[in-house]
Amino acid sequence: MENFGPITPGQVSLLVGFVPVIVAWLYSELLVRQNNSNASEISRCSDADSVGNDSKIQLLEGGTSLTPPSEVRRSSPSFLRCLLMDKDFLLQNHSTLRSLTEFGAILSLYYVCDRTNLFGESDQYYSRDLFLFLYFLLIVVAAITSLKKHQNQSPGSGKSVRYLNRDQTEEWKGLMQVLFVMYHYFGALETYNAIRTFIAAYVWMTGFGNFSYYYVRKDFSLSRFAQMMWRLNFFVAFCCIALDNHYMFYYICPMHTFFTLMVYCALGLFNKYNKYGWAIAAKIGACFLVIAVVWEVPGVFDFVWHPFAFLLGYSDPDESEPHGPMDEWHYRSGLDRYIWILGMIYAYYHPTVERWMQKLEETRVWLQMLIKASIVAVCFVVGYLWYEYVFKLDRRTYIAYHPYTSWIPITVYIVLRNITQQFRNYTLALFGWLGKITLETYISQCHIWLRTGGPDKRARKNLSLIPNYPMLNFLLTTAIYVTVAHRVFGLTNRLKMAFVPSGDDKRMLCNIVVAAIAAIVLYCFSLVVFNVPKMLA
Ligand SMILES: *[C@@H]1O[C@H](CO)[C@@H](O)[C@H](O)[C@H]1NC(C)=O
Ligand SMILES: *[C@@H]1O[C@H](CO)[C@@H](O)[C@H](O)[C@H]1NC(C)=O
């Protein structure tokens, strides 16, 4: 097995770190088995195979009269108990250990697929016909098999008036994500402008979703914030270490993290004034101002972002023209710099628009038709003008206009998608499902679907498991890819619950400190391992 790229200390620490986890997991598996047979004798709890959830384990522990878990937890720090292979502790955390092991296995799979030549690779091949055929085929399949009607009847009125944000945005994400990853798989360079628009729509959703959340729930707690960050960055952080890539290689993650942070700050600072309209207006104005100053005034960007170069620097080793390390971040973040603010504005006016729509729904039919028809007409004209005069521009020119025009297609889509009650009530559940795992499909694609073949290299080849049968190979790798991405989504959530429990700041901080210490120890250890051979030589 030939390796691309040298092994790094980070990879060694990861490997060394996973060994005790695997051992602990195997041991806990054994303990659970034993415990189960004991328990079934005592309490006839014969449900031996489904030991996945903690509550059942605790139930079993009760059956075998072990010390109550809460008491054990208090007696000594959990990390130590894990090291000492404390039986109760391992039993309690059996499912977490299993998730960690599975997570490690997935990372290894990524490494093997991407960085070794155990599996082959194939060139990308683009045919517009095939590309669109596959995409529309999927839409047709989704429509046939998973068209879902939502019944959100609000009490009182006969018609449903809820606007089903979650389902619709998830479906929207799914629709875009499929095209986005297919663009990478087939190297469909001609859809470049469309992809930029989709990314803008994701960023719009970041602003929209996060604003709605913080504005309505007013939950600025540390644990909630940490959970959000975990969701966005946990998997990518491990991918960076395991595959020796820069964070910016997965540019979607730093971008969404940054814009999420901006929304959090915008609403979190002085949040007691959020109930006043003027305060929100001032905050949104301030966001515009900050972004405009940093991105539009020459020199400010470099000054502000220079200290973060270690995190956000990136350059493609295959690129022929030399670039500064921060150019990538400048370009990516700059493209969508305003659209998240627009998402916040839309979220703020969402209730108002909803009220209008309800009123519209209740007016006489002919008037309603007339208004809707004119809205549709306006949308079509605006959308067409945008398509003709902006979208069709060549890549470079389009990019220059993108930050100021991406709101047009987004708005048109939102309006048309919601224009009638029927449209609003139906979603394609298949795309909704795919929309939930966009982050995982985004990160995974480079490693188990495409191939980069080296640190920081852009994926320009496809993974090939069935040589010479490109379409069969596409089918097989896609099935594996989507399954693994879905697993990762579940694992990220399960581990989030274990390490960043909601509303338990103390335990979370404790976890952070332990994780930091463990990481430092492991890293130092692997540095030593690395340098000993050099010193001996
Ligand atoms: C905030 O934005 C991030 C990034 O898009 C997203 O993952 C997260 O779910 C959003 N939070 C809420 C509450 O919508
Ligand atoms: C309309 O549709 C979009 C996306 O499909 C959704 O995000 C939005 O909340 C919907 N409702 C309104 C009132 O805009």
Q: What's the confidence (pLDDT) of residue 398?
A: 94
373 torsion bin: left (phi>0), alpha (psi -120 to 50), beta (else) = alpha
> Quick check: is 370 in a domain?
yes
- 209 within 8 A of 348, measured Cβ to Cβ: no
Ligand with an atom nearest the CA of residue 252: 1
Work out the burial of residue 298: count CB atoms within 10 Å of its CB; fewer than 13 is exposed, 13-18 middle, 19 or more buried. Answer: exposed
- Nearest-CA residue for ligand 2 atom 14 is 414
The pLDDT of residue 310 is above 80: yes
Q: What's the confidence (pLDDT) of residue 161?
A: 43
Which long-range contacts does 369-372 make (Cβ < 8 Å, 24+ apart)? 372/419, 372/420
Q: What's the confidence (pLDDT) of residue 290?
A: 95
- 461 within 8 A of 451, measured Cβ to Cβ: yes
Nearest-atom number in ligand 2 for the CA of 350 is 13
pLDDT digits (tens, 9 = 90+) for 180-197: 999 999 988 888 999 999
> Quick check: is 144 in a domain?
yes
**Alpha-carbon span 89 to 84, nearest angstrom:** 10
pLDDT-derived band at 233, boundaries 50, 70, 90: very high
- Our mutation pick for probing the ligand 1 site, out of 260, 340, 437, 496, counting the most ligand atoms within 8 A of Cβ, is 260
CB atoms within 10 A of CB 430: 21
Q: What's the confidence (pLDDT) of residue 163?
A: 53
Q: 49-58, 219-228, 346-355, 379-388 — which is least confidently predicted?
A: 49-58
pLDDT-derived band at 454, boundaries 50, 70, 90: confident
Residue owning tokens 């010193």? 535
Mean pLDDT in residue range 37-56: 48
Ligand 1 centroid to Cα of residue 210, in Å, is: 5
pLDDT-derived band at 53, boundaries 50, 70, 90: very low
Q: What's the confidence (pLDDT) of residue 147?
A: 87
- Nearest-CA residue for ligand 1 atom 3 is 206
The pLDDT of residue 154 is above 80: no
Nearest CA to 231 out of 496, 497, 512, 502 is that of 496
Radius of gyration of the chain (CA): 26
The pLDDT of residue 42 is above 70: no
Percent of the chain with pLDDT over 90: 53
Residue owning tokens 């039993």? 91
pLDDT digits (tens, 9 = 90+) for 269-308: 998 888 899 999 999 999 999 999 999 999 999 999 999 9
- Nearest-CA residue for ligand 1 atom 2 is 206
- 421 within 8 A of 162, measured Cβ to Cβ: no
pTM of the entire structure?
A: 0.86
pLDDT digits (tens, 9 = 90+) for 73-83: 444 456 666 66
Mean pLDDT in residue range 20-29: 90
Ligand with an atom nearest the CA of residue 214: 1
Q: What's the confidence (pLDDT) of residue 479?
A: 95
Q: 162-166, 303-307, 459-463, 506-510 — which is least confidently predicted?
A: 162-166
Nearest-atom number in ligand 2 for the CA of 165 is 9
**Alpha-carbon span 16 to 287, nearest angstrom:** 44
> Quick check: is 211 in a domain?
yes
Longest dimension (CA), the chain: 88
pLDDT-derived band at 71, boundaries 50, 70, 90: very low
> Quick check: is 348 in a domain?
yes
pLDDT digits (tens, 9 = 90+) for 473-527: 999 999 999 999 999 999 999 999 988 888 878 888 888 888 899 899 999 988 8
- Nearest-CA residue for ligand 2 atom 11 is 163
> Quick check: is 393 in a domain?
yes
- Between 5 and 457, residue with greater pLDDT: 457
The pLDDT of residue 121 is above 50: yes
Q: What's the confidence (pLDDT) of residue 529?
A: 84
Q: What's the confidence (pLDDT) of residue 282?
A: 94
Q: What are the CA-CA distances from residue 417 to residues 138, 181, 197, 322, 420 (Å)?
A: 19, 23, 17, 43, 8
Work out the burial of residue 516: count CB atoms within 10 Å of its CB; fewer than 13 is exposed, 13-18 middle, 19 or more buried. Answer: exposed
Give bridge partners of residue 149 from the DSSP assignment: 426
The answer to whether the CB of 56 is under 6 A from ligand 2 is: no
> Quick check: is 512 in a domain?
no
**Alpha-carbon span 276 to 258, nearest angstrom:** 26
Ligand with an atom nearest the CA of residue 173: 2
pLDDT-derived band at 4, boundaries 50, 70, 90: low
> Quick check: is 230 in a domain?
yes
The answer to whether the CB of 417 is under 6 A from ligand 2 is: yes
Q: What's the confidence (pLDDT) of residue 484?
A: 96
Residues 6 or more apart whose Cβ sits within 8 Å of residue 288: 338, 341
Q: What's the confidence (pLDDT) of residue 240?
A: 94
Q: Which domain holds residue 381?
A: 123-503
The answer to whether the CB of 98 is under 6 A from ligand 1 is: no
> Quick check: is 476 in a domain?
yes
**Alpha-carbon span 198 to 186, nearest angstrom:** 17
Number of domains in the chain: 1
Nearest-atom number in ligand 2 for the CA of 357 is 13
